[in-house]
Structure 1
Amino acid sequence: MAAPTLAADPRTRRVSVSSTEGQAGSDSYDPSVSADGRYVTFESFASDLVANDTNGALDVFVRDRQTGITKRVSVSSAGSEANSYSRDPSISADGRYVAFESGANNLVANDTNGKTDIFVRDHLTGLTKRVSVSSGEGQANSHSFQPSISADGRHVAFMSKARDLVANDTNGALDVFVRDRREGSTRRVSISSGEGQADSGSSYPSISADGRYVAFESTASDLVANDTNGALDVFVRDRREGTTRRMSISSGEGQADSGSSYPSISADGRYVAFQSSASDLIADDTNGSYDVFVRDRQQGETRRVSISSAGIEGDRSSFVPSISADGRYVAFHSAARNLVANDTNGKADVFVRDRQQGVTRRVSLTSSGSQADERSWLPSISADGRYVAFESDASNLVANDTNGRFDVFVRGPLP
Structure 2
Amino acid sequence: MIVTISLGAPSRPRPAALLPAWLLVLPLTVSALVGLPPAGAAPADGPARIALVAPRSAQAATVTVSPRRPMAGEQTTFSGRLSPRGRPVRLEVRAGSRWRTVARARVGAGSTYRLRARVMRTGTYRVAAAGFTSRQVRVATVAQGMSRTFDAPFVTGLPRVVTAVPTPRRAGRSVSVQRRSGATWTTVATRRTNASGVARVPVSGGAAGSRTWRVVARSFRGAPARATGGVVVRTATTTELLSVGQAAGKESFSPSVSADGRWVAFTSEAALLPSDEDALNDIYLFDRRTGALTHLLPQANSHVNNPHLSGDGRFVAFQTIASNLFGEGDYDYDVAVLDRTTGALDLVSTTSGGAPGNNDSYVHAISDDGRFVAFASTANDLVSSPPPNTSVRHPYLRDRRDDTSFGLDRTQSGWSTTGTFSMDLAGNGSRVVFTTTDTNLAPGNVDGSAIYATEIDANGTAYNRKNLTPGMQASRPHLNRTGELLVFTSTEDLAGDTNGQSDAYLRTAGGAYLLAAPAGPGKSIGEDISADGRYVVVSTESPQPGDTNGTDDDIVLWDTASATPHLLVTRGGPGSSSGAVLSADGRVVVFGSLAAITASAGGDYDVFATVLR
TM-score, normalised via structure 2 length: 0.59
Distance 1:159 1:119 in 2: 12
Deviation string for 1:81-117 (max 9, x for gaps)? x222122111111111111111111123x22343100
In structure 1, the residue matched to 2:153 is 5
Show structure 2 runs of 5+ residues with no match.
1-148, 159-236
In structure 2, the residue matched to 1:394 is 595
Q: Is the 8 A contact 1:166 1:186 kept in 2?
A: yes
In structure 2, the residue matched to 1:252 is none
1:148–1:32: structure 2 CA closer, same or farther, 3 Å change rule?
Answer: same
Distance 2:408 2:430 in 1: 11
In structure 2, the residue matched to 1:265 is 479
Distance 2:247 2:239 in 1: 15
Distance 1:196 1:328 in 2: 39
Q: Does 1:246 align with 2:473?
A: no
TM-score, normalised via structure 1 length: 0.86
Distance 1:400 1:344 in 2: 19
Q: Does 1:161 align with 2:382?
A: no
User: Cα distance, 1:239 vs. partner?
Assistant: 2.3
User: Cα distance, 1:3 vs. partner?
Assistant: 4.9
Deviation string for 1:182-231 (max 9, x for gaps)? 21111112346x796323212321111122211111111111114353x1
Q: 1:133 aligns with which of 350, 375, 379?
A: 350
In structure 1, the residue matched to 2:278 is 55
Q: Is the 8 A contact 2:443 2:467 kept in 1?
A: no
1:114–1:83: structure 2 CA closer, same or farther, 3 Å change rule?
Answer: same
Distance 1:239 1:328 in 2: 24
Q: Is the 8 A contact 1:190 1:237 kept in 2?
A: no
In structure 1, the residue matched to 2:491 is 277
Q: Is the 8 A contact 1:236 1:246 kept in 2?
A: yes
1:122–1:208: structure 2 CA closer, same or farther, 3 Å change rule?
Answer: same
Equivalent AA in structure 1 for residue 373 of structure 2 = V
Q: Does 1:39 align with 2:263?
A: yes
In structure 2, the residue matched to 1:25 is 249
User: Cα distance, 1:136 vs. partner?
Assistant: 3.6
User: Cα distance, 1:248 vs. partner?
Assistant: 2.1
Question: Post-superposition, which runs of at least 4 consecutive aligned residues in structure 1 deviate over 4 A?
Answer: none
Deviation string for 1:158-188 (max 9, x for gaps)? 0001111112223542111111112111111
In structure 1, the residue matched to 2:604 is 405
Q: Does 1:178 align with 2:397?
A: yes
User: Cα distance, 1:325 vs. partner?
Assistant: 0.7
1:2–1:154: structure 2 CA closer, same or farther, 3 Å change rule?
Answer: farther
Deviation string for 1:5-24 (max 9, x for gaps)? 22253810111113xxx462
Q: Is the 8 A contact 2:317 2:363 kept in 1?
A: no
Q: Secondary structure at the match of 2:415?
A: coil
In structure 1, the residue matched to 2:292 is 69
Q: Is the 8 A contact 1:138 1:165 kept in 2?
A: no
Distance 1:167 1:88 in 2: 28
Distance 2:465 2:150 in 1: 38
Identity value in percent = 32
Equivalent AA in structure 1 for residue 152 of structure 2 = P
Q: Is the 8 A contact 1:206 1:214 kept in 2?
A: yes
Distance 1:276 1:262 in 2: 9
In structure 1, the residue matched to 2:570 is 364
Deviation string for 1:303-338 (max 9, x for gaps)? 11002xxxxx3310011421111111111211111x
Q: Does 1:295 align with 2:443?
A: no
Q: 1:330 aligns with which of 533, 536, 542?
A: 536
Q: Is the 8 A contact 2:395 2:407 kept in 1?
A: yes
Q: 1:237 aligns with which of 454, 466, 485?
A: 454
Distance 1:195 1:385 in 2: 43
Deviation string for 1:344-365 (max 9, x for gaps)? 3212100111111112111113
User: Cα distance, 1:343 vs. partner?
Assistant: 2.5
Q: Secondary structure at the match of 1:119?
A: strand
Q: Secondary structure at the match of 1:319?
A: strand
1:149–1:3: structure 2 CA closer, same or farther, 3 Å change rule?
Answer: farther
Q: Secondary structure at the match of 1:264?
A: strand
Distance 2:368 2:455 in 1: 17
1:191–1:355: structure 2 CA closer, same or farther, 3 Å change rule?
Answer: farther
Distance 2:574 2:332 in 1: 39
Q: Does 1:304 align with 2:509?
A: no
Equivalent AA in structure 2 for residue 344 of structure 1 = T
Q: Does 1:382 align with 2:583?
A: yes
Q: Secondary structure at the match of 1:242?
A: strand
| Higher RCO, 1 vs 2 (CA within 8 Å, ≥6 residues apart) | 1
Show structure 1 runs of 5+ residues with no match.
250-254, 308-312, 366-370
Distance 1:152 1:135 in 2: 23
Distance 1:100 1:146 in 2: 6
Distance 2:469 2:514 in 1: 11
Q: Is the 8 A contact 1:191 1:244 kept in 2?
A: no
Say what the alpha-carbon RMSD is for the aligned residues: 2.0
1:138–1:195: structure 2 CA closer, same or farther, 3 Å change rule?
Answer: farther
Q: Secondary structure at the match of 1:51?
A: coil
